Chains A and B, each alone.
Chain A
């Protein structure tokens, strides 16, 4: 069965500093990979996704992620964090099942930004 591990429960960075959130997945085939962001009490917003092709994926709000098959990782990065980036970030792996699509999420990383 597929699984996603986000090893960092909480991360604190200073505004303007760079950010990297880690994500490792377990899945037997080529994965579909996603990063979502969730502000308190809100739903999930898609930041970026990887299906195939270029392993460096650009997303919204200046985020990017790199797919590394050898490390089973899909880490999220941002060169300069803004205070408004404080939120919870979820990595997910998508699979096709019975004609449909399911996402398996990690437990999330809570990002705090210090001014």
Chain B
């Protein structure tokens, strides 16, 4: 069990650029979650997958955000035309479907939009 892995750890981008983050869940976990954490706040739910199906998206996930989980393994979160308000820590988590609430988080990707 190598835990949930996120890449990159840090990303600095210019406003208007596109960025993509990757999350590798714990290998047998079929559920994968994305959260966003802004400075001084707790994490907020963005979206989640069961296997390759994206089952729920928060209204926080604007049209500029897209998440995928091809083949039900790793997931990517893309932000198009980044804005300064997108600066945040993006956290990924995974779990087993039968596990109930509560899951293992990765170390996150810190995005800074300048």
Contacts and interface: CB of A to CB of B under 8 A. Distances in A.
Interface of A: 4, 32, 34, 36, 41-46, 49, 51, 90, 92, 94-108
B43 interface: yes
A99 B55 contact: yes
Contacts of A94: 100-102
Interface residues of B, number: 28
B42 A107 contact: yes
Given A44-B43, A44-B91, A107-B40, A101 B55 contact: no
Contacts, number: 74
Interface in B24-54: 31, 33, 35, 40-45, 48, 50
Contact of B56 (A4, A36, A51, A97): A97
Contacts of B104: 46
Contacts of A101: 31, 48, 95, 99-103
